[in-house]
Amino acid sequence: MTIIKACGSIGDIEKGKQIHDEIMGRGFLETDAVLGTALLDMYAKCGELAKAHNLLEELPSRDIVSWNCMLSGCIQHADFELVLECFELMQGEGITPNVVSWSALIAGYVQNEWSQKALLFLEQMQHSGLSPNVVTYLSLLKACGKMDWVERGQELHAEIVEEEFNLDLFVGSSLVHMYVKFGMLDEARDILDSLPERDIVSWTALITGYSEHGHNEEALKCFVQMQAEGVFPNAVTIHCVLKSCSTLQAIKKGQEIHTMIKGNKLLLDHFVCSMLVDMYARCGSLATAQKAFDKLRDSFMDDVIDWI
């Protein structure tokens, strides 16, 4: 069992097939459904979906675990026709999908840009008497943000509050990100303020929103508050606040940020370095801009960057 799982994890399909042949030769598969499910999972993870499906049909018994392995493999390798076929077959055998199956299905459709179908599956899931979990909501909030479904996103927000998932850090960050995508920055800020804990993901989502929508002073204020709470920025945060400094020609704040990232790997990020050059140039400090450009050029000789 352990070796089979390892083959699936590292994608060693050849070794997995050898083990399968040995199992077949000893007749273990005819009576051991658990072993058969492990093989099915291995084939599914390796992208051998036809073999996984055939093995599923040959199992002496099929349960929710074996069906979930099959569904997960189909979703991972974006075979959505087979996902639907398996989902219908599973229900036809009287096996009711637990929330995990539905969530995996919905997440797969969102990840592969089929957001409309993801929402249809949510409706089917709820009609079957099941409530979404945190994973389900994370996927759906992402879909609403990408597709600019404001009304549906607000409905999901109401459901999340009712289920008391809004205090979850990951869900809260996703809500902030969704409202930022809608351009509803006041709502995004209210959600951030309501979170019992704020991390770099939630702060960066709001700072990015302020920067992209021209609220540069608010972006810098958020950055200061984030630092006061002991949250260390990442490259995206730094890029956004430098962009705001550039627009506002706030060279003093830009210099503070430059000093902060000296000696840090963030300085090696192309976007951060290019924004440093842009910030100094826009603020009229052309000599410093030239130095920043030279440092970037020396660090990344093989790269070509458009400085217009």
DSSP secondary structure, 25-71, as one string:
HHT-TTT-HHHHHHHHHHHHHTT-HHHHHHHHHHSS---HHHHHHHH
**139, pLDDT greater than 70:** yes
DSSP character string of 12-27: -HHHHHHHHHHHHHHT
Whole-number Å distance between alpha carbons of 188 and 174: 10
In contact, 189 and 206? CB cutoff 8 Å: yes
Q: Which residues of 294-303 are buried (b: 16+ CB within 10 A; e: fewer)?
A: eebeeeeeee
pLDDT tens digits, one per residue of 280-290: 999 999 888 88
Return the pLDDT at 268. Answer: 67
Q: Hey, what amino acid is at 149? A: W
Tokens representing 43?
Answer: 């084939």
pTM, whole model, 2 decimals? 0.72
Question: CA angle 259-263-268, nearest 5°?
Answer: 100
Whole-number Å distance between alpha carbons of 75 and 50: 14
The most confident of 28-32, 145-149, 235-239, 288-292, by mean pLDDT: 235-239
**301, pLDDT greater than 60:** no
Return the pLDDT at 307. Answer: 37
Q: What are phi and psi of 164, to 5 degrees?
A: 65, 30
Whole-number Å distance between alpha carbons of 196 and 184: 21
In contact, 122 and 106? CB cutoff 8 Å: yes
Give the 3-state secondary structure of residue 250: coil
Residue with tokens 């399909």: 13
Whole-number Å distance between alpha carbons of 281 and 242: 12
Cβ neighbors of 262 (< 8 A, separation 6 or more) are none
Give the 3-state secondary structure of residue 276: helix
Q: Hey, what amino acid is at 15? A: K
Return the pLDDT at 308. Answer: 31
Can you list the pairs that 27-30 forms with residues at least 24 positions away whose Cβ atoms lie under 8 Å? Answer: 29/58, 30/60
Higher pLDDT pick, 61 / 249: 249
**111, pLDDT greater than 80:** no
